[in-house]
Structure 1
Amino acid sequence: MIGGGKSYVSAPPAFSNDAKRLLVCTGTAVSVFSTSTGLQILSLEGHTALVTAVIVVPGNKALSFCWTASLDGTVRYWDFAAAELMKTIDIKMPIYSMVIPALLLGQTDSKVMPADAFAYLSVENTTQDNAPKALRGQIRKCSLTESRLAGVILAETRKPEVISISPSGKFFGIRNKRKLHIWRAPAKDSKLPVAKITLHHTRNFTLLALHPTKRLVAAGDTSGRILIWRGFGNRKFSDGDKLVNQGSMNDEEGRPGIRGDDDADSCTTWHWHPTGINLLRFSSDGAYLYSGGKEGVLVDWQLDTGKKKFLPRIGSPLLYLTDSLDPSLSALSCADNQIHLLKMPSMEITKSISGIKLPFSSPDVYEGICSKFAFDDTDGLVALRTENYRIQFYSLFDDREISEVQVCERNHQPGDEVSVIVTLVSLSGDGSMMSTVEVNLPEDGIGGLVCLKFWASDSQNKNFNLSTIVYQPHRDAGVSALAFHPTRQMVVSSSYGGDFKIWVCSDEIQQKQDTLQHSGWMCYAVGSYKDYDVPCRKKPMTAAAFSADGSVLAVAAETVITLWDPVNNMLVAVLGEMQMPIVTLSFAGNSDYLLSISRGSKPQLSVWSMSKLSESWSYKLDIEDVTCAKDSSSFAVLAHLPKSSTFMGSNEPIFQGKDGVILLFNATDPVPLAMWSVRKAKGGGLAFLKGNSFQQQSIADGKSPQALLAYINADHEYILFDPYDYDARELRMTRGKDRVAVDETARYGYASIYGELPQFEMKRDQTLLAPYAPSQRPWETIFSGSSHNLLPLPKLCLEFMESLLERRTTTVE
């Protein structure tokens, strides 16, 4: 089993003392990356919930110890060079942030903590019945040597806040709506309460940063302003929670919005960012202040003069800037799940650690028609649409980015209004070709240009080059689906305008004709299907798929399935009449079965027999995605769980937090082979992949290799597993004798790697939806039934003439 797709930017990372390693919070673990190669070296496993803080113990370069905190309510001490857990402190409350002033004050230089070492934690306080209190956030003091809370509550807030600490370790603070609370860390062996001051503002703060040597604090607000207080706490700190120096609403220079009587000598305001500040950090020498926000530009402010220089075109909102003990190396964390290593002070990006791109919101009008993922099952890659008009190729086996393709060249900055959206991505079977569709969104009802692009790659690094651009491939209509031919350089595109087009690459034509022409793609054929109830209306083409050998092209004409000969562009047959529009078609591997998925108020999964031209079985399931194994008749679907589902006849809802289920089928049988309940199914995807190194390990273990099933959830976290490995350790149930029986002990399938399994009604649906099948005497029913069941025109004329001939013979007799 392989997992990945975790976030690298849920919390600030930390450098090792020799700056050769970067410790990154990745879900429930801490991953250690090499700063020279950008590759993961090892992982610290042990937490059971999201890791929210990692702090390296400073010292000589050989020292390799760190503290971590997590939402599982524990603080842990590690030797990260050996990946060894050395100590665990359980405070039984989720920890959202942690600072340890003793480390920065130089009070610790070994793996043995002194008797008076304390950490300050931002925790969430809940009542015994788990109902949130009005003030859920608390700042608590924790003894690291005695492994317990010190009983001191420094502050209470509506929600847990992030704690910021000065590089010297003398001060730490939090933002609390329109206030800043700053504490002075107690001196060694001090038994006095932690002293606090409060600074005020008329807008909500977003974060704060403390100067490494001076009593100077900078804070950003929601409007993009940066406020800098100099000399705070020079007069006094308060003891406990008493607020001091309420003062007037104007600062010493008369500007509104800052309390001039706060305990600070002066206050300065800078304003360059158009929106809220996400990043604030003083340089290690204290001469500069770095800031960043949604616009994706790192701004370097000279503290004495206010002069600026910029690192633009990062392409994503900025989150954290982390310094190392090497003054020439820093790490910049971005919202697109990337960490850039910067050469300072020039701010040059030298290397990037790229995680899987996070999902982005498409405009509502395109929400249902955008393809989420495209898979290269041979190399185990997934192609993802990103926010900055790119396609990211990500290795599911190696859990790292392979490449990025810029689909549309635009000077896009994060936070700008989206004007272009990549709606569809499709890959050829061998992964060497790609086709994309992008839409320029209309402005004031004008525009809406659709662009179809074809790409080619000659390398294993998936560096695609643009081959052909087709503007408005279906006139003014949008493209609903793209599909590659399994063996030829051929692509079908279907449109909501009522037609589909078959595109071929001129390279294939040149090989046949032995001519030298410009390489590119051209339209080979056009097809449509008219609604015979309304003859002037062509039905929208909503889905398309090629059969395993490429001899049949299936195109959904809204609620019916049309089968075509793609070479001769001839209509072969028409199947069914669904109640809702068909959104997905897929052939079940090398079998003669076709799958169709309908969505709407009456969703349905249907399996059609190509040999009988009729529906074999169906389920009324709301399907999110479907994938078919290439070398068998197996397929898997990702279905949404109904909110009213119950488990084994009880009145309790199924699986708290589970909203989807994966069902594995053989196309010949409506009874699932196995089922797995999952989280975050809405927006998720499935794919069968070849096993590669995973299969080689299975062969070494004496197991027969099988295709792997990949599940990616809505947050782009993923897992790969062998769906046919019934003895896997993660599976709790055992396999039945021949297949899964529909009873109370075996209806779970083979149990879930994500939890228990829901109850489904497994009765076979024998009702066919307007099947089409040839008759022994077709002339008797040739014009009866629905109009979409009419035969192709050449066959229709032949059958009609045969019917006249039959009638004449009968009359003579």
Structure 2
Amino acid sequence: MVVVEMSEPSAIDKVGTTPIDELHIKHVTGGSIVKFSPVFSSDAKTLFLALGNIIRAFSVSTGEHVRDYKGLEARAVGVQFHPNNPHLLVALSEQGELAHWRWKTRLPPQILNLQNIWENSTPNGFYLVPKGDDQDESCDVYVTCKLKSNKYPRLCVYDEKTGESSHDNLTRNVEVNRHGVYKIAFGGQGEDKYFAGIYKKKLYISILKKKTIDIKKIGGQRSLTCVACHQEHHMIIAGDNTGRILLWQEFFENPNCGSSVYHWHTLPVTDLAFSQFGSFFYSGGGERVMVKWTLDSPDQRLYLPRLPENICHLVVAPDNLYVAISLADNGIRVVDSHLKTVSIIQHFTWCGEGEPNNKTWFPAGLNLDPRTKSMVLNGRVGHIQFFNPNTSSLLYNVDITCQNYLTQERNKVIENTDVTKISLSNDSLWLATVEQCNNLKTHFEIRLKFWNFDEVKQTFCLNTCVDMPHGENKLLDLKIQPITTEEQLLAVTTAEDNKFKVWSLEESNTINTKYIWRCESVGFFRNFPVGEISFSTDGSLLAVAFDSTLTVWVPETNQLKCNLTHTKLNSAIRHVKFGASTCCHLVVTATDTCLGVWNLLTLTLMWVVPIRINILVADSLSNLMAAFTEENDLFVFTPMSGRPVYSHRKLRPDRFSITAAIFFPRDNKQNICLSSWQQHSQLYFLDIHQELLTLEPKETIEEANQNLEALDLLPSALSTVTPFTALLAEQSTSGVQHEVTDKTHLQLGEPGREAIRQGPAPSGAPRHDLAIE
């Protein structure tokens, strides 16, 4: 046994690998698209939102991604249209970059750096307010800054043309929402432009020109949660933590005016939005219900219930055509004036954002579905999602718990059943899941479910459901045997009862299904606490961690082959992984303090590295493994040696801790020059902010960005592409090449006629006008 140190690769070790400084972190997907409010274009056909340092545009009618607006170096803190020029799209970054795009053109943005941004402060929102001068169409830029040394925010005013700061307007307390954005709103027109902010029980109102502040208070144990102002009239609505909505009107003309109360929600109001003319407004609450209120008739209400997650933002389109609902699952739902869903913008579902005290993102980790070549991971509560990282697209969701979501109650925490473990067979025909709900005050639920893929329905259907598979003991691990013979397939579970159970697929006596799953055997070792399990690559051996002892079993007979322990590994084993390829006889174990490798042929400990491992993943297509430490350091190694083939210190800052990782088989169509350890699979990892990341050479990232920019020069995705328009495009292109002009009409032969006939009816001109018969 050799004790080594997991250090940087030496020059010799780097042969055939990519040097550390040549691999860069690439953002694949994730990140919040609901942190800031989206904004509609003036024709309500396009929706714009901020995602990192990119402004992304989506089609309202289809939800498809249209294009990206780039140019900011830092993360954007909001996006909106210029009040005096609807052709200008404006965004502000955390570094004070004010960018203007002419959004219908392909021109780069005009960027102005705001001057004298307060030191030790970070902008987290901005608002464009017209100056009210007919000769000057520019605006004042009101920027909310979060001071690091002071809990109070600061509202700074800048000139849009020069970027110079004129004065500070607000230094009082203002509430922030769950994303750290201050809860303020602007309203009114011209000289009567005003803003409102909330803090606990107080509503602050101020006319911008006068710089005076009026304070409204609410009584009792209530506190304000959100605020909205009408863009033309003196009207303010604010929600509180008991579900009430308070309306103030003509407050400047009558400083002692009272408030009207609208009350339907029982949980805190999360956001509010006025219609264009103020005759009605929308509200969202913790019940996951959006309500449409009529201002003069509070009893006339429309409801949009059972939204998939909590409401973050409500935005009304021009002429009240649509309402965009930003949800905490990182999705945006667009509905019409009758609350009918028009489109859904969602490419990566966040996990448990609305759950109370939920500190574990994606508890089921990252799993591979070989059939669809997608990742399988937690989605919204009770669901799992199938996500393709190669195309950055969400394939579909599967409802595992099949339960209605239980919303929270006042002064109570309601626990919902969620998926905690996922495992798929090698042929993707079987899916095993574990769902748990641990509410100590009321009940304890745990279910082991086996799902069979239905080729006709093209989805997973429930085959076997086992309630309390290990009694009232929490399940710790779940694995399906990696073999392709369905009749001999096994699955193994471990739990806090210090046992593992082997589940086998057997023929059923019922007419409803051909096979069902039953418990075949139970294993334990000296009543030691059981931990993680791992199958060998051919499925013939099963490694089970019992406290500090590694045990190896024959899963079919539940026969113990050997038990291994060592003084260097005297603490509980947290991770167990069988090697693959040339290392299939090696087993890697990790404790709280060490990483060690056992040789099953000689029953000896080969090497030990003193390191604290947080995540350990193995590549099924090679002999490589990846270890992530608590300090977000990455080490890629093979079990044959304690010297890493690649290492990367501080992948993410401390506040971006990594929660899950996976080696994902590389697409065969990709023809890029990579290091040797990246040839077979690509390493993906998730951080606590639910961003999916990977490592790629800088040249590859730049090439991908250039390809996206080239695609961005194509005609807008808003233009309808039909078989008829495709044929017209071919004619136009062929017409440029004069030497083949005589052959252009051949494109309108039988293939062209069939393309038009097989297309949808409204996809082109009337057929009798085409003159192709």
Contact 1:376 1:431 in 2 (8 A): yes
Contact 1:5 1:717 in 2 (8 A): yes
Cα distance in 2 for partners of 1:630, 1:701 equals 18
* 1:54 shift after superposition: 0.3
Contact 1:640 1:681 in 2 (8 A): no
Cα distance in 2 for partners of 1:404, 1:389 equals 10
- After superposition, where does 1:399-798 map in structure 2 within 5 Å? 399-415=392-408, 417-441=414-438, 443-444=440-441, 447-458=443-454, 463-488=459-484, 489=486, 490=489, 491-506=491-506, 518-523=513-518, 525-531=520-526, 538-577=527-566, 578-590=569-581, 591-599=583-591, 602-641=592-631, 660-676=632-648, 677-679=650-652, 680=655, 682=657, 684-692=659-667, 696-698=670-672, 705-722=679-696
Contact 2:431 2:451 in 1 (8 A): yes
The one-letter amino acid of 2:226's match is L
Aligned match of 2:72? 47
User: C-alpha offsets along residues 39-72 of structure 1, whole Å, 9 cap, x if unaligned?
Assistant: 3222223333332210123689xx6421111222
- After superposition, where does 1:203-282 map in structure 2 within 5 Å? 203-235=222-254, 263-282=255-274
Aligned match of 1:376? 369
After the TM superposition, which of the residue ranges 310-319 and 604-613 deviates more from structure 2?
604-613
1:84 paired residue among 92, 104, 108: 108
* 1:358 shift after superposition: 3.3
- Is 1:182 aligned to residue 205 of structure 2? yes
What secondary structure does 2:672 align onto?
helix
* 1:330 shift after superposition: 1.7
The one-letter amino acid of 2:55's match is V
What secondary structure does 1:139 align onto?
strand
Contact 2:381 2:418 in 1 (8 A): no
Cα distance in 1 for partners of 2:361, 2:84 equals 54
What secondary structure does 1:696 align onto?
coil
User: C-alpha offsets along residues 635-689 of structure 1, whole Å, 9 cap, x if unaligned?
Assistant: 1011113xxxxxxxxxxxxxxxxxx111111111101112122235645111111
Aligned match of 1:5? 30
Cα distance in 2 for partners of 1:279, 1:297 equals 11
Aligned match of 1:98? 126
- Is 1:332 aligned to residue 325 of structure 2? yes
Contact 2:483 2:538 in 1 (8 A): yes
What secondary structure does 1:684 align onto?
strand
Cα distance in 2 for partners of 1:524, 1:161 equals 55
The one-letter amino acid of 1:474's match is H
Cα distance in 1 for partners of 2:333, 2:139 equals 33
Aligned match of 1:198? 215
The one-letter amino acid of 2:503's match is W
User: C-alpha offsets along residues 368-388 of structure 1, whole Å, 9 cap, x if unaligned?
Assistant: 995333333675533333452
* 1:441 shift after superposition: 2.5
What secondary structure does 1:672 align onto?
coil
* 1:708 shift after superposition: 0.8
* 1:424 shift after superposition: 1.4
The one-letter amino acid of 2:459's match is N
What is the number of equivalent residue pairs in this alignment?
A: 647
User: C-alpha offsets along residues 343-379 of structure 1, whole Å, 9 cap, x if unaligned?
Assistant: 11x2122321124333448899997995333333675
User: C-alpha offsets along residues 461-516 of structure 1, whole Å, 9 cap, x if unaligned?
Assistant: 9832222111222334332211122223432222332332332334xx69xx9x98
The one-letter amino acid of 2:113's match is I
What secondary structure does 2:670 align onto?
helix
TM-score normalised by length of structure 2: 0.76
Runs of 4+ in 1 over 6 A off after TM superposition: 361-369, 459-462, 699-704, 726-730
Contact 2:113 2:163 in 1 (8 A): yes
Q: 1:354 to 1:698 in 2, by over 3 A?
A: same
What runs of 5+ residues in structure 1 fail to find an aligned partner?
Answer: 108-112, 126-130, 187-192, 236-262, 532-537, 642-659, 731-813
1:319 paired residue among 286, 289, 312: 312
Q: 1:456 to 1:715 in 2, by over 3 A?
A: farther
Q: 1:517 to 1:124 in 2, by over 3 A?
A: closer
* 1:611 shift after superposition: 2.1
- Is 1:138 aligned to residue 150 of structure 2? no
Aligned match of 1:650? none
Q: 1:390 to 1:555 in 2, by over 3 A?
A: same
Cα distance in 1 for partners of 2:538, 2:584 equals 11
* 1:312 shift after superposition: 1.1
Cα distance in 2 for partners of 1:24, 1:152 equals 28
What secondary structure does 1:408 align onto?
coil
Contact 1:101 1:185 in 2 (8 A): no
Q: 1:165 to 1:27 in 2, by over 3 A?
A: same
Contact 1:279 1:291 in 2 (8 A): yes
CA-atom RMSD, angstroms? 3.5
Q: 1:195 to 1:400 in 2, by over 3 A?
A: farther
After the TM superposition, which of the residue ranges 360-369 and 47-56 deviates more from structure 2?
360-369
After the TM superposition, which of the residue ranges 473-482 and 354-363 deviates more from structure 2?
354-363
Contact 1:437 1:453 in 2 (8 A): yes
Aligned match of 1:118? 140
Cα distance in 2 for partners of 1:527, 1:702 equals 42
Aligned match of 2:184? 163
What secondary structure does 1:161 align onto?
coil
User: C-alpha offsets along residues 528-548 of structure 1, whole Å, 9 cap, x if unaligned?
Assistant: 1331xxxxxx33432221111
Cα distance in 1 for partners of 2:218, 2:156 equals 25
The one-letter amino acid of 2:144's match is S
Quote the sequence identity (%).
23
Cα distance in 1 for partners of 2:395, 2:34 equals 19
Contact 2:504 2:519 in 1 (8 A): yes
- Greater RCO (CA < 8 Å, at least 6 residues apart): 2
Cα distance in 1 for partners of 2:270, 2:64 equals 27
What secondary structure does 2:302 align onto?
strand
What runs of 5+ residues in structure 2 fail to find an aligned partner?
Answer: 1-25, 176-180, 703-773
* 1:437 shift after superposition: 0.9
What secondary structure does 1:582 align onto?
coil
The one-letter amino acid of 1:114's match is D
Cα distance in 2 for partners of 1:266, 1:397 equals 57
Q: 1:428 to 1:436 in 2, by over 3 A?
A: same
* 1:33 shift after superposition: 1.7
Contact 1:681 1:714 in 2 (8 A): yes
Q: 1:115 to 1:594 in 2, by over 3 A?
A: same
Contact 1:709 1:721 in 2 (8 A): yes
The one-letter amino acid of 1:582's match is I
The one-letter amino acid of 1:708's match is Q
Contact 2:114 2:158 in 1 (8 A): no
* 1:334 shift after superposition: 1.0
Cα distance in 2 for partners of 1:52, 1:414 equals 30
Aligned match of 1:742? none
The one-letter amino acid of 2:184's match is I
